[in-house]
């Protein structure tokens, strides 16, 4: 049964650190479709038929792409599995251009967050601290939500078992440490029985959807420009903004650039330094710096 083969494949991939939630659902759906069609091995015809039932071309390409990767893996052990052709185009969509907040935007965002709830000042204090921490450290939202008191150390924040099941230490600037130290006494007094750094008015850990709603409400307060041709600001834009600002401070020499990129990649918890290099194309300033450096090198400047 192809269903059993899919489960074995997913188990192996997850051991290496991939969660494969949506991908796993798709492959299980494909396996059930193939089993119903009486196919115990990957059939290119059946795969295209299954993928073609998705409503949009992008979804069809995504579905078929998952089957192609699955088929390449299991065909190494059994040549009866067919590798489907790329019938709906590539499923590798370009990453959207990130929204990068200015320093003034972030200051206004943090201030507006502190005024989110006139009836309960603790909610505003929580989100102003939460957003400021994301902006100052580039943490993922999920990492900040999971922070517990014992994760705040003299050396920085201990981020435990994050994306790709990695843990890391995130050193903090002294101003960020001061901000957390001002917040923690109020936080402990509000919900002393919970160990999480950030809690809601229900005295429970923040939920991702809670943070998204609070962020959108805060954006409306400060009037961030929106438009069809502009990148969409999201709470994850705070992480993007941190990464871009860190790259803008990168030194000029080749050896220092390499060390800077590796350090930033480790700090952000990227699985590959290629994910960090992607930020080089995120803002006109960075692209202009790259162009200027390339021109200087071409005309005999320092490499």
Nearest-angstrom CA–CA distance, 102 and 193: 38
Nearest-angstrom CA–CA distance, 164 and 70: 20
Query: C-alpha distances in angstroms, 287 versus 44, 72, 92, 302?
Result: 43, 37, 23, 18
Q: Which of 39, 69, 236, 260 is catalytic?
A: 236
140 is catalytic: yes
Judge whether 115 and 221 are in contact, CB under 8 Å: yes
Burial class (CB in 10 A: 0-12, 13-18, 19+), 210: buried
Q: Which of 60, 140, 146, 245 is catalytic?
A: 140
Q: Which of 239, 240, 245, 267 is catalytic?
A: 239
Nearest-angstrom CA–CA distance, 107 and 198: 20
Strand extents, DSSP E, the chain:
152-153, 156-159, 168-170
Name the strand (E) or helix (H) holding 247: helix 237-248
196 is catalytic: no
95 is catalytic: no
Strand partners, 158: 169
Strand order in the sheet with 168-170: 152-153, 156-159, 168-170
123 is catalytic: no
Judge whether 251 and 241 are in contact, CB under 8 Å: no
Residues taking part in catalysis: 140, 163, 236, 239, 270, 279
């Amino acid at each position: 049964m192809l269903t059993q083969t899919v489960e074995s494949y997913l188990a192996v991939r997850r051991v290496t650190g991939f969660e494969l939630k949506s991908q796993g659902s798709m492959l299980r759906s494909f396996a059930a479709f193939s089993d119903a069609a009486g196919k115990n091995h990957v059939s290119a015809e059946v795969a295209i038929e299954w993928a073609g039932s998705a409503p949009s071309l992008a979804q069809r390409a995504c579905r078929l792409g998952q089957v192609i990767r699955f088929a390449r893996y299991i065909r190494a052990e059994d040549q009866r599995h067919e590798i489907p052709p790329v019938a709906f185009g590539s499923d590798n969509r370009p990453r959207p251009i990130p929204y990068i907040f200015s320093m003034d935007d972030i200051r206004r965002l943090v201030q507006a967050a502190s005024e989110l709830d006139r009836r309960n000042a603790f909610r505003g204090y929580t989100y102003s601290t939460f957003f400021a921490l994301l902006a100052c450290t580039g943490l993922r939202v999920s990492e900040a939500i999971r922070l517990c008191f014992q994760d705040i150390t003299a050396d920085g924040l201990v981020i435990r078992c994050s994306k790709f099941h990695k843990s890391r230490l995130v050193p903090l600037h002294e101003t960020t440490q001061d901000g957390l130290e001002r917040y923690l006494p109020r936080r402990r007094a509000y919900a002393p029985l919970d160990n999480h750094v950030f809690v809601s008015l229900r005295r429970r850990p923040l939920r991702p959807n809670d943070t998204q709603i609070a962020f959108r409400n805060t954006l409306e307060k400060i009037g961030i420009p929106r438009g069809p041709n502009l990148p969409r600001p999201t709470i994850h834009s705070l992480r993007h903004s941190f990464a871009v600002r860190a790259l803008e401070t990168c030194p000029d020499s080749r050896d220092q650039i390499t060390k800077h990129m590796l350090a930033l990649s480790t700090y952000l918890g990227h699985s590959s330094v290629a994910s960090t290099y992607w930020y080089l194309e995120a803002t006109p300033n960075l692209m202009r710096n790259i162009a200027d450096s390339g021109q200087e090198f071409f005309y005999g400047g320092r490499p």
